Amino acid sequence: MSNTYLNYISDEHLLNCIENLYNSYERAKANISKSKFYKNKIDTIKLTFDSKFNDLDEETLIKTEINRQIDKSINNSIGTFHEEILGGVNGYEIGKLSGFDIKAIDDTLFADIKNKHNTMNSSSSESLFQKLATYADNYKKAKCYWVQILAKGSFCEKWFGEINGKEYSHSRVYKISGDKFYELITGNEKALFELYSVLPKVISDFLQTKDAKKGNKDSALKEITESANESKRSILNEITFENYSYYLGFDKLE
């Protein structure tokens, strides 16, 4: 087992985590057909402003919007990537839909990992606190953590406060930033920084193992361009027509 990239997980494990995330990107791109692209209605008034104020041609404009939709589906996969990385550290394992994201094999730690600090509303926060408190009550030696990979500061502190009008606190329930949690799991205070630093190389090394041809592409732009050519509309007018032809006057778009 080699550790040429990071000293706290094997190269094989790191490359497997990269491959899992790569596959998530490929699935997300492949899933963006025209019908999927139109699913939540496209704000073509905003796209018009984007085009003019950001000096974007129509093709770049649509590619940007497609990438925005792909990005929404990828965010959860980034959180999973961190779970998988830390689950490969000796003494820890991932939850695999067990109610926690990562735990110590000896049951002294349970954690729920969120990629960003602001991904939960008050109801989600209340539910998460109650879940972590239950683990702490059931496992008397366990410390339980709400992990914020991208937090507004560097911290590890007791999680207490008022949620939905109720006061919550527990002696072994914490909230912790990504850098501090990586340090806690690995014993290396720069573990997250070292992961960040090595990613360009390990991603490049991984991509060299893939075919020169890129994987599945989204079909949305191709489909929209073809229908725009048939109707002799601009791409933006074609999107507007296909989304809002039932609005007064919009059925006359040329």
Query: Is residue 97 located within the same domain as residue 143?
Result: yes
Query: Is residue 191 located within the same domain as residue 233?
Result: no
Task: Find the domain containing 155 and state its range.
Answer: 89-197
Query: Is residue 60 located within the same domain as residue 93?
Result: no
pLDDT band at 253; cut points 50, 70, 90:
confident
Per DSSP, the three-state class of 208 is coil
Q: What is the CATH number of the domain that holds 102?
A: 3.40.1560
How much is the pLDDT for 67? 87
Residue 6 lies in a domain: yes
- Asked whether the predicted pLDDT for residue 207 surpasses 70, the reply is yes
Distance CA 149, CA 227 (A): 43
pLDDT band at 217; cut points 50, 70, 90:
low
Residues 6-23: tens digit of each pLDDT: 999 999 999 999 999 999
Residue 158 lies in a domain: yes
Residue 68 lies in a domain: yes
Distance CA 172, CA 163 (A): 18
Q: Please, what is the angle between helix 235-244 and helix 44-53, to 10°?
A: 160
Residues 35-53: tens digit of each pLDDT: 888 888 899 999 999 999 9
Query: Is residue 138 located within the same domain as residue 234?
Result: no
Contacts of 222 (CB under 8 A, 6+ apart): none
Number of domains the chain contains: 2
Residue 211 lies in a domain: no
Query: Is residue 33 located within the same domain as residue 109?
Result: no
User: Which of 82, 80, 85 is CA-nearest to residue 97?
Assistant: 80
Query: Is residue 94 located within the same domain as residue 185?
Result: yes
Q: Calculate mean pLDDT across residues 224-242.
A: 93
Query: Is residue 72 located within the same domain as residue 93?
Result: no
Distances 153 to 93, 117, 124, 149 between C-alpha atoms, Å: 26, 10, 21, 10
Residue 133 lies in a domain: yes
Query: Is residue 39 located within the same domain as residue 136?
Result: no
Q: Calculate mean pLDDT across residues 55-77.
A: 87
Answer with the residue of higher pLDDT: 225 or 162.
225
Query: Is residue 165 located within the same domain as residue 140?
Result: yes
Query: Is residue 134 located within the same domain as residue 227?
Result: no
Residue 151 lies in a domain: yes
Query: Is residue 125 located within the same domain as residue 70?
Result: no
Specify the pairing of strand 109-116 against strand 166-168. unpaired
How much is the pLDDT for 137? 95
* Helix residue ranges, H only, the chain: 11-30, 34-37, 44-53, 58-87, 122-138, 178-186, 191-207, 220-231, 235-244
Residue 205 lies in a domain: no
Q: Calculate mean pLDDT across residues 52-80.
A: 88
- Asked whether the predicted pLDDT for residue 172 surpasses 80, the reply is yes
Residue 97 lies in a domain: yes
What mean pLDDT is reported for the chain?
Answer: 90
